[in-house]
Structure 1
């Protein structure tokens, strides 16, 4: 077994079976892995990742290994780690894994430091914690870092802030911003897996309920569409007038959180910001209201504020804590305010992560070749990578699309042609 900190090496074979099951639904990443095994675009490079340690992530790490990289991974969320997957990676696939389900925050950060002890050339981050520690506590490693990838909206926001302050010391590619990530992972993956987590945690019937969704980005859109499809009445809260108008014209209710707080049966946050649901909102919520977060960090629901209002807290189901308030109302917080789709369910379906992780793998290979021409800052994934992933996904489903004729290409490329 590699140098790792995992819960139980004996879970490795069970993890291998689950990783293989996910791999069946990831034909694009599998094709890239086969290509990498021949081309070896990452030969001699060390890659440190901070990601959700799930079966889908395991198949990405296997792909990076096939390209020649030495890989270490730490968990990006203490509640999302699948211990059998971590064991399989460490015991059967030769990845250094620093992840155990349910660790405290001190261990969480110790694990990130352990992954960085690899002295990486490339970093793959999920939320910017790894990049943040590199720039605040592990500055000695910065000269050796060629570049990185970030796959979350929250992480990209942090990176842009670092770049504006001239604090970012190497190029980072915003994999989150590719169409094959945002349009599919965020919208379809988050939409389905978040509701899956809520239903697993509570066994509630969403039909007929009022579901309040904070944020109408790609994640919020997917949540709203799927909640409506299950028969819920959907209210959207937003700070962006364009997104709010989009929600309104799609037929969703649009209100402030102050207005919606008294009406909602289920609240889902997907904003990337803190205190989106706070004590003032808790004060008017219905008895039995369910609070769930689908944003990356556990700051969107003010958990401390909720605890301060409670006279008692009971764990009523494995991922559901019931907060009893002085007036007798009970509010149910899921997964301690952490990502409900990964803590109470299994995260996005493998078929969706196939595209996101194909973007990651191809971007790592591109960084390995192109890093010398990239200045420190936030960069976009080359359009050809995005298009290639989409083409490979279509091919895997036996779907064909039209191709421009020569006349059509000439028409689109010429300004001389009139109407």
Structure 2
């Protein structure tokens, strides 16, 4: 296999040259570095209106397979933007209606297959996403979005070779924002943050709407944060929010950077705003409150997390990775191991390997924990939290030199990675790790 460090930069440069020439040449579609035009503070793509219009159209023409697939895509995007999982069921219903209708060529509607694959990824059913993506690819090898589904699924399954292969097809056939941002993620996993940054800059330059522009800036902020640059991260998150003021990941990222810079009041207000839009940030918010000594408020936020996940479980959408991480640090460590072993059976990703290592460490199973931590590093665990976890595990095993190396690497990479974690890493080093 041709490895990413050799193939992707050359491939993407060639493909990007063609795309960007069209977009940025005199009279081209966009000018470099400008956010997409639109009404200030609001995306011109009104998903609620699009959903209502599609539903109205389908009341009159219920046999239109393509329209059902479009409705499914709108619902899936609405779920992503609002964190309202009720839209997953609506998306699935629309995609299945599309698949059950005849089309002009007698095939199931390819967009519905691709939509089912994207929905499976959203629900963390990555094996199911591969199945749908492969069905779509076989039926229509030149529908490039199918390769995006496959890339995402294989990344989460920890199969980077197949992810790279799918992405290469996508880049060759359709070098666009979706393919560039996926390539950036792969490069970041390989530890090539400079290449990832260049790809995200190119993706941002061709973003077609404020939400896409905000997504690229948020990813750039995440890279800066991972590299221990809270000022750079803050600038990127702020630019993302200028394009899309309600972008929850950027609200949370901005709050995280503000906390690192000592702007505590702004950070707390930012986290509250992020949680109001996307409850997935509630634990991060609670951890800052707890670090500040506001334990009663933190407990209330942890209770919100628990209630949310009871509702998800009732809907058949339990998130074992989130639950495992929560229990490892704030709940029952044995429960954390159970959740994360279940998740590991579904996907052998870098995030799950690290989380399972940490949960095992919290239960005292250090030798097994070390194996998963090493596996996370092989998969691309290039961030301070992973290094801290591995250092703490090595310290528990009595491996002083290895513990010192990993803990020092964590603090060197990003001394702000976690209020409690960074403090603990420093304490271990001072104690002679």
TM-score normalised by the chain length of structure 1: 0.31
TM-score under structure 2 length normalisation: 0.30
Q: Which has the higher helix share?
A: 2
Where relative contact order (Cα < 8 A, 6+ residues apart) is larger, the structure is 1
